[in-house]
Amino acid sequence: MHLPPRFWSSTETDVADASGRHLTLRIWGWSDESETEARSVAADRLRRLIDRGGPSLGRSKRAEYYPFSPLREELLEVLGDRTDPDGFVTRNAYGATVLTTEVVLIADVDATEEPVDGGGFFRALFGRPKPATEVSPDERRIRAFADTHSSLGVHAYRTAGGFRVFVTGTGFVATDDGSRQLLEELGSDPLYMRLCDVQGTFRARLSPKPWRVGAGRAQERWPRESPDAAARHERWLGDYERRSKGAKVCAPLFRSGPPPSPVEQRVLDFHEQRTVGAANARLA
């Protein structure tokens, strides 16, 4: 597994689109060797983009998060040996820390339905707590997956927006058809599946989404391009980390199947240390 590029550099130019409207195109290049090489990559990417007729103006902001190029994220931590890491931690575009690994399959599952007995609106209206035995259709699907794939280890968690599932013992890498099939069975987010396929790794957010703890999104992307930008980022980071206290990303739901391998266990332990807080901590 490759670590994120060490060097980034951007280049830009003004162009006119088909309607005559002037646009400023800014393209980033990357390198593990030098900033000079990163500049050269940026210039080459910009030239090829212009030759193709420019960017697609209809591309969604969400789609921009899943590029066919390395993610422009700050490397914060490496799990294990840098020459053959178990994974690494970066800070993503909006400021949360993220685990990237290829040694264990990770499914991101958005909640899609109300629990089986319904009543979600009236329960919220009158403050009636959810019965401890109530299980949503999404959770039922995950538990059924674990029963069907009893030869695999399934480690399931609740998140603020749904569920997260680690699957051990698959023998697959992220680009294998087998990985895609398992992710589809679990109901994983299609855009997340695309990212896994393009990058060849799995990802799991380790810290709260900033807006869930009352902080704004990070405004200064990596790399910070001036001392002022770096200072603004540090101020934002201090506020975000302060607001994140008392919040957690995951709550354990269940585990099933055979034990993980030693390397899988290291990644699972690291993930739980960073995401599972106190029982009364809020999910964010």
Residue 195 is inside which H or E element, if any?
helix 190-199
What is the torsion angle, in degrees rounded to the nearest 10, for the CA atoms of residue 220, residue 223, residue 228 and residue 232?
30
Whether pLDDT at 59 is above 90: no
**Of 243, 233, 172, 189, the residue nearest 212 (C-alpha):** 243
Whether pLDDT at 60 is above 70: no
Instruction: Identify the pLDDT of residue 208.
Output: 98
The CA distances from residue 258 to 124, 168, 182, 205, 261, in Å, are 39, 9, 17, 25, 9
Question: Residue 30: phi, psi to the nearest 5?
Answer: -140, 160
Label residue 67 by pLDDT band (50, 70, 90). Answer: low
Distant-in-sequence, close-in-space partners of 22: CB < 8 Å, separation ≥ 6: 14, 15, 16
Classify 49 as helix, strand or coil. helix
Residue pLDDT, tens place only, 149-201: 999 999 999 999 999 999 999 999 999 999 999 999 999 999 999 999 999 99
**Of 121, 105, 102, the residue nearest 164 (C-alpha):** 105
The rounded percent of the chain whose pLDDT value lies above 90 is 78
The CA distances from residue 221 to 8, 96, 191, in Å, are 11, 12, 21
Query: CA angle, corner 142, sides to 139 and 146, nearest 5?
Result: 140
CB atoms near residue 278 (< 10 Å): 8
Distant-in-sequence, close-in-space partners of 214: CB < 8 Å, separation ≥ 6: 243
Give the chain's length: 284
The CA distances from residue 272 to 18, 73, 201, 203, in Å, are 51, 22, 19, 14
**Of 186, 103, 92, 174, the residue nearest 141 (C-alpha):** 186
The rounded percent of the chain whose pLDDT value lies above 70 is 87
Do the bridges between strand 247-248 and strand 282-283 make them parallel or antiparallel, or are there none, so unpaired?
parallel
**Are the C-beta atoms of 119 and 172 separated by less than 8 Å?**
no
Label residue 8 by pLDDT band (50, 70, 90). Answer: very high
Amino acid in position 213: V
Residue pLDDT, tens place only, 75-134: 999 999 999 999 999 999 999 999 999 999 999 999 986 543 344 433 433 444 445 457
Whether pLDDT at 45 is above 50: yes
